[in-house]
Amino acid sequence: MPSGARRPLFELVQQERDLGIVFRDVTGRALQYPWHFHPELELTHVVKGSGLRYVGDSIEQFSDDDLCLIGPNTPHCWLTDPGRSDPIHARVIQFLPESITASLSNSITWRPLVELFARAERGLRIQGETARHTRESVRALFGGSRRPLDRFVGLLAILAELSQSRELEELGLGNGGVPIETGQAEAASRLLSHIHEHSANPGLSFSGVARAVGMSRATLGRAFPRLFGKTFVKYVSEVRVTQACMLLSETGHSVSEIALMTGFGSLSNFNRQFRALKHTTPLRYRRSALTRDALRG
């Protein structure tokens, strides 16, 4: 992650005119945004790209057509593998809850959106037919009329469909919508950056990370569960297993090679940690991933 990850991580969103909505068409060679948060909700469609998605206490791999709704003040970021050079493309819509209506909490009409926004505080991955419809609608918003009112109506239609869908998966387990202080966000960004860059090193240690981010072991021990909702050991294991899942799905490397490439140090440790988190073996995971890909055509 670039040095920008060390700046204050409250993102000031420059909104479009008086509607409080911003549309961003993002292209480039990598997604390396720092761990950040903002009072706006965020609908993100990764048209093309793959890597790790961090939302609250959730760590998951993402790939082409990843589609999520992230709630206000929920820390999040999408990080592509630094070693990848494939171009990426993402469409991002950010909006304040009150930009949809100023009376969300006072009308039965808007209650489904109130409930949707509350669920989005844990992050929502959009799946199935709902995802297909939403991707098409987002594409239309970016490729059709740019008149603010047309975009507002289009976004409202998307949110109305999402509020009725049963194809939304909550990502985080904790209450991601609790605001965090800028200093805590900066610390979280430094930690996430260091872990993401060095997770493949089997020598990555609690003491080494504490030194790298300028914390004592005691301070890091108190701060880590508060920032990420789990212990350092569990968090690193989840990052490594998620990276291993990507390699199992997308490459022909052997399981033993992937164990070493993702920092586990030994095949036995890799198998044990993988089974604990995924409730299956690496080989079975690979077979399932290949079957899914074949069914998709």
Write down the pLDDT at residue 257. 96
- Helices then strands (H, E): number in the chain? 11, 9
Contact call for residues 5 and 189 (beta carbons, < 8 A)? yes
**CATH no. for 200-296:** 1.10.10.60
Q: What parts of the chain have a pLDDT lower than 70?
A: 1-19, 33, 82-84, 101-106, 145, 173-185, 293-297
Write down the pLDDT at residue 5. 35
pLDDT tens, 224-267? 888 888 899 999 999 999 999 989 988 899 999 999 999 998 99
Joined together, the tokens standing for residue 151 give 């975009």
Joined together, the tokens standing for residue 225 give 């569960």
Considering only CA atoms, which of 202, 228, 61, 44 is closest in space to residue 138?
A: 44
Joined together, the tokens standing for residue 180 give 């965090």
Write down the pLDDT at residue 1. 35
Identity of residue 7: R
Write down the pLDDT at residue 7. 34
Give, as one character, the DSSP assignment of residue 173: S
Query: Which residue matches tokens 């009329």?
Result: 145
On the CB side of 216, how many CA atoms lie within 13 Å of its CA?
Answer: 3
State which fold the 3-170 domain adopts.
Jelly Rolls (2.60.120)
Cα 191-35-154 angle, rounded to 5 deg? 165
Give, as one character, the DSSP assignment of residue 293: H
How far is Cα 131 from Cα 65, in angstroms, rounded to an integer?
Answer: 9
Domain coordinates in residue numbering, the chain: 3-170, 200-296
Write down the pLDDT at residue 283. 94
Joined together, the tokens standing for residue 85 give 């050079």
Contact call for residues 222 and 37 (beta carbons, < 8 A)? no
pLDDT tens, 120-137? 999 999 999 999 999 999
Residue 80, C-beta contacts closer than 8 angstroms, at least 6 positions apart: 30, 31, 32, 49, 50, 51, 88
How far is Cα 24 from Cα 285, in angstroms, rounded to an integer?
Answer: 35
Write down the pLDDT at residue 213. 87
Cα 189-194-197 angle, rounded to 5 deg? 120
Joined together, the tokens standing for residue 177 give 């919508």
Per-residue b or e along 49-77, where b marks 16 or more CB atoms closer than 10 Å to that residue's CB: bbbbbbbbbbbbbbeeebbbbbbbbbbbb
Q: How far apart are the first and last CA of the chain?
A: 34
